[in-house]
Amino acid sequence: MPETPESLLSRLKAAGIPAVTHRHPPLHTVAESQALRGDLPGLHVKNLFLRAKPPQPFLLVVAEENAPLSINALARRLGTGRLSMASAEELWERLGVRPGSVTPLALVNAAPGSVRTVIDRRLLEGAGPVNVHPLTNEATTALAPADLRRFIEGLGHALEPLDLAEPLA
């Protein structure tokens, strides 16, 4: 069974990672998030879970919410060949979350090396918190960039920082 939001938050606490979690109605889009979050400080993310042709691993893209993303341009830049959106079943099997709840914290449910993780460099280098879902789109958890990185790398996953501030060519 995959981690639950509660067990994930307990895991963060046990690792000494400060996290502030805000509960809210389910959010499915960046626009819904922007409308409901008020003045919640920090950077907010959008996430894509993509399928590459085997033998390449699945791809999790974690971007600042306003980053311009093109799946085709991303595939060219990363050298993956054709990319497509993973199915709801593949998302559940690999990350243990449902559509709308994709988050870098879902790597807690993935075997190291099974998901290539590309993350917007701004999310790792910012001074303020990074806001992500804690395995559910009914909450947002704020983490320091260094703590987000430490947690994911502590799970055995490598992060690939990429400058996503400009459109991918």
Q: What is the pLDDT of residues 13-60, one digit of tens each?
A: 999 999 999 998 787 777 777 766 667 888 999 999 999 988 889 999
Q: Label residue 6 left, alpha or beta by phi (over 0 means left) and psi (-120 to 50 means alpha).
A: alpha
pTM: 0.92
Q: Label residue 79 left, alpha or beta by phi (over 0 means left) and psi (-120 to 50 means alpha).
A: left
Tell me the backbone φ, ψ of residue 49, rounded to 5 degrees: -110, 115
* Position 144 confidence tier, pLDDT thresholds 50, 70, 90: very high
Q: What is the pLDDT of residues 80-128, one digit of tens each?
A: 999 999 999 999 999 999 999 999 999 999 999 999 999 999 999 988 9
Q: Label residue 96 left, alpha or beta by phi (over 0 means left) and psi (-120 to 50 means alpha).
A: left
Please, what are the domains in the chain? 5-18+45-162 (3.90.960.10)
User: What is the model's pLDDT at position 36?
Assistant: 67
